Amino acid sequence: MAAHAFDLTGKAALVTGANTGIGQGIAVALAKAGADVALVARRDPSETRQLVEAEGVRAHIVMADLSSIEPCQRIVEETVAAFGKVDILVNNAGIIRREDALDFSEEDWDAVMDVNLKVLFFLSQAVARHMTGWSSQDGARGKIVNIASMLTFQGGIRVPSYTASKSGVGGLTKLMANEWAAKGVNVNAIAPGYIATNNTAALQADETRNRQIMERIPEGRWGDPADIGGAAVFLSSSAADYVQGHILAVDGGWLAR
């Protein structure tokens, strides 16, 4: 292992859903470690770009709607055009729809599965085809980091397509690791616990639910996007070269209870 195993200087990262929340936290953490970062988003990620560039590295915006696989190849091509290659892919983009399982619609099922699972796989495939073309040449390894969920391990309620998709992310992470490890690509996942972002603002504001959540977390606090960023840096670095098919829970101990 190199003396500076967590150093990502000279690496090119691609982060989906990078305009806010966990995606922004991951993009900034990768930048702090030295990586240039391509920011894939449906809404303008200019704030994230400013935060990334403030770390003295390059940022490149790729506007894309990940409700279908149509932009997957273009995302890779634009990133390669900007940075010369893709060393790191973080599949962070995701959506959720809430409804009782008895009343859940096909539309809400398909929308979530398309973004959270189908696009994740086909973007990973497009990036891995690029990575396997160069990774064995100099011993460098490509890194794919998927964002899973506590619902990769648990069932949850009123989110059937989200639970199915995130369970699928766990399985695909292992499948891709099995196939691509020997080709010079590491594939792992992070399962965030309760993270304080704009997406969880309603839960934080609900006094009863917030208390229930906090009582179960041994750490005694909500997570910060930077907590997920640290895990992403590890899995994207040479420090994790022998980590394959792992789902790393960053949850303050939620699953331990």
> 161, 113 in Cβ contact below 8 A?
yes
Residues contacting residue 198 through CB under 8 Å, at least 6 positions apart = 20, 21
CB-count exposure of residue 196 (10 Å: 0-12, 13-18, 19+): middle
Q: Bridge partners of 253?
A: none
Q: What's the pLDDT at 205?
A: 93
Confirm whether pTM is higher than 0.85.
yes
Locus of tokens 């500076």: 4
pLDDT in tens, 13-64: 999 999 999 999 999 999 999 999 999 999 999 999 999 999 999 999 999 9
> 65, 42 in Cβ contact below 8 A?
yes
pLDDT in tens, 220-246: 999 999 999 999 999 999 999 999 999
- Cα separation, 11 vs 6, in Å, equals 11
State the DSSP string of 64-133.
Answer: --TTSSTTHHHHHHHHHHHHSS--EEEE---------GGG--HHHHHHHHIIIIIHHHHHHHHHHHHHTT
pLDDT in tens, 150-194: 999 999 999 999 999 999 999 999 999 999 999 999 999 999 999
Q: Where are the alpha helices (DSSP H) in the chain?
A: 21-32, 46-53, 72-83, 106-113, 119-131, 135-138, 160-180, 201-205, 207-216, 225-236
- Cα separation, 149 vs 27, in Å, equals 19
Please identify every residue annotated as catalytic: 162
- Cα separation, 209 vs 185, in Å, equals 40
Q: What are the extents of the domains in the chain?
A: 12-256
CATH fold, domain 12-256, is Rossmann fold (3.40.50)
- Cα separation, 243 vs 103, in Å, equals 40
Q: What's the pLDDT at 138?
A: 64
